[in-house]
Amino acid sequence: MAPESDVLLSGVSPRQVWAFVPLDRQQQIVQLLAHLAMHLIATQPLCQRVELSAKEQVHAHSSSSHQDPA
């Protein structure tokens, strides 16, 4: 069952809706979202991108240090 935050007021989870979307339409939607994300990043000022990149690197290092090496 989906977490309560994923359930709309109608009681239908977004996962249930996505499952009924045809695969070719899903691919188009994912490509559109990727395209929009690329443009969002490209239009951000350079200083914001550097700050975000630094935060991502810190997060990546902290999460890799918590992994079990075995």
- 16-32 pLDDT, tens per residue? 888 999 999 999 999 99
pLDDT at residue 55, rounded to an integer: 75
Question: Is the residue at 50 inside a domain?
Answer: yes
Q: Which residue has the higher pLDDT, 35 or 52?
A: 35
What is the domain range of residue 32?
4-65
70 domain residue, yes or no:
no
Neighbour-count burial for 20-56, b at 16+ CB within 10 Å, e otherwise: eeeeeeeeeeeeeeeeeeeeeeeeeeeeeeeeeeeee
Structural domain includes residue 19: yes
In a domain, 49, yes or no: yes
- As for how many domains the chain has, the answer is 1
- 29 lies in a domain? yes
